[in-house]
Amino acid sequence: MNVFVTRPIPQAGIDLLKKKKNVTVRVQAKPINLTKKELMKRVKGVDAILSLLTNTIDGDVMDAAGPQLKVIANYAVGFDNIDVEAAKKRGIIVTNTPSPEISESVAEHTFALIMALTRRIVEADKFTRAGQYHGWDPKLFLGRDLTGLTLGLVGLGRIGKLVAAHARCFGMNVVYFDRKRDAEFEKSTNARYLSMQKLFRQSDVVSLHVPLLPSTRHLINAKTLRLMKKDAFLVNTARGPVVDERAVLKALYEKKLGGFALDVFECEPAIDCDTSDQYELAKLPNVIMTPHTASATVRTRDAMALLAAQSILSALAGKKPPHAVA
């Protein structure tokens, strides 16, 4: 059985695959994204593909691999980079890596961004490093206390619930919107369920925790931004295209939004979709950007590698992996 790994991942996953005597593993050595043409060439004849979210796996790639391809294990929770319907038609299993570790890491990163935004940590760090600090000033980098602020969660999956737990420790009020109400969550956290429109109007911080679907693309747009408080903060650790970045940029430049923190970008890996206009994220002091590293802890990335490898081994053994999405 042949397995192709599209980019280097933590060794724990590779070692698990290599332990099986009948499994041969090839890893794309360089940490670069293969072009579609290169990817189609590399997957020829393989039984399994361990892909990253930066790889687009469509029907052409599946056909290039051949009819023996049994499983595509995506090293990510999201799987919008894979044509799931094309995989179903070809009888190919698709899996992802939704582990407790990744939920915890992303929730912690999300809350770190919330704290950094509200307390202007990045701005103050740059100011100090530039040698501009000349003594205490009662009005220097005034931020917001989290206690008493309202956190609005758009999406209440595992990550959203963990972010809510962190927020409660800091005395924040929690409101949420999801397709379904969660009475148990409301009872245990005193959180309130609101319509999306009311959530945007009442929240001091809006944190996004939804998958990328046709219904969530540009969920945050000019219309929804107009509902938000002018000093509210927006945080996106979900998927880049959930946010219409140009609309957010315009709101920030017009001082109709307090700040924006993001770990994912609409036109990733590009920081801005359109660099020909006047709106640039990197120029704004009240924008904090991290390079898609919300789950970047040693423990979490190892767990993801092991889960992807286990999914492949299960599928090659004729079993249905626990995290099959197709």
Q: Which residues are catalytic?
A: 239, 268, 292
In a 10 Å sphere around its CB, with 0-12 CB exposed, 13-18 middle and 19+ buried, how is residue 125 labelled? Answer: exposed
Residue pointed to by tokens 């190919």 = 92
Q: HSE of 35 in the Cβ direction (CA atoms, 13 Å)?
A: 2
Amino acid identity of residue 85, one-letter, is E
Rounded Cα distance, 313 and 315, in Å: 5
Token pair for 13: 């996953």
Output the CA angle 246-250-252, nearest 5 degrees: 115
User: Residue 264 and residue 238: Cα distance in Å, rounded?
Assistant: 7
Residue type, 184: E
63 vs 145: CA distance, rounded Å:
55
What H or E segment, with its residue span, contains residue 68? none
Tell me whether strands 259-262 and 233-236 are parallel, antiparallel or unpaired. parallel
CA–CA distance, 73 with 309 (Å, rounded to integer): 8
How big, in percent rounded to 5, are the helix, strand and coil portions of the chain? 35, 15, 45
State whether residue 39 is helix, strand or coil. helix
Q: Count of alpha carbons within 13 Å of 189, Cβ hemisphere only?
A: 27
